[in-house]
Structure 1
Amino acid sequence: MFLATVHFTQHRDCILRRLTAEVDSPVPIEIEEIQNGLVTFVLRSGRHTDTFQSELEAADHVAHVKRLDDENLLVTKPSCGAYSAIYQNHGTLRRSNTVSGRQREYNVLAFRREDLRNIIDDLGTFGTVTLGKLEEFRADVDSPLTDRQRDVVTEALTRGYYDWPRAITNEGLAEELGISRATLQEHLRKAERALLSAALVDGHKRTGEGRFERIELE
């Protein structure tokens, strides 16, 4: 398993590029689901929430906008290409990534080196890609997951939740597990956080069992 920080300059026109071009700092995005070419995400819009909501609602191609609270929007819209490039090559995103005009930063998990190469190649067809930190996970110690988290993640992998296209939606997976969608998302978030927290320490090179080790993508 590989963890890569990917810096991406978007060449395509995208509403998020326009919305965040004049914002002082990068805007965090948390990915909820990608399905049938549509991406659903939480936009951590902060003090720009009113402006962002108005412009998103006025855009014909944006399928859905919901205000979660004073600082966050839930948005569904067609992918501008980056998310599709990541997921169709069997990658997955850490929950938090950022957008600032043309500039994006993605934290990508990929199971195989060739998948990561394909992600970078595909992104390069419509933007400029710079590979930042790249580390390999050596999972040869006890898992930091609870038994329930391990069960949920195993079921998600088995039923194709992380495949591209997804073989099952989060609603369908939650139903199979007999839990709510919110509970499913909480288990997945905590599992991802536990794995990554156990693996990363301030971005420094770590070696030994159960840690990410900085490598080169040959």
Structure 2
Amino acid sequence: MTRRYAELVALDAVDLRIESGAAVALTGPSGSGKSTVLHLLGGMDRPTEGTVDVDGEELTARRLDAHRRSVGFVFQRFHLLPALTVLDNVLAPVLPRRVDFDRQERATELLEAVGLAERANALPSELSGGQQQRVAIARALINRPGLLLADEPTGNLDSTTGREIVELLLSLRERYGTTMLVATHDVEVAANCDRIVRLLDGRIVADDQVTPDGDVLGRLGGLRP
């Protein structure tokens, strides 16, 4: 897939296949195309050339609304609504529409999963940065998304809190069977994923597997230096 903005080529003929349930890190310098990949996969943008296929079917304009409801987003900035409680922030994505589950029950379950059940009635301003990101993660999972996209989720956090957030994301990925893509500059975040895709100037320049022991394998299966 290719994405151009006027004369700027943000992505240049990128061919990326992701297995269901995988945890993939997108790395590379600022402007390399990481966020553009997330926006295209999440249906927030459309490719100039090529297609985005989900479960073997092209993501067309007709399918966008349904697809967006099956995707969860976590950003560097938490984007919580300051006037709403923690619980209501988690509920916000599903309040305007009909759902086939108990909203309150699921939001409460998610707050328990991220360790914030006791702060359900607090306002975002009463929480630390790490706690606010946990609320944002719970909100992203309220629809039980098949795909979770995280754009620099630890960028505004100190290293200890960032490590806790990564561990939380990975544990929730396993718990709910969610496929996860994380755009990150953080080497430690990337090393905790199953696969590391490196972008440079809108192209994939490396696509490596990470072993359970943390070793990084190159395309041909050999250890990378």
TM-score by length of structure 1 reads 0.29
Higher relative contact order, chain-length normalized (CA < 8 Å, sep 6+): 2
Which structure shows the bigger proportion of residues in strand conformation?
A: 1
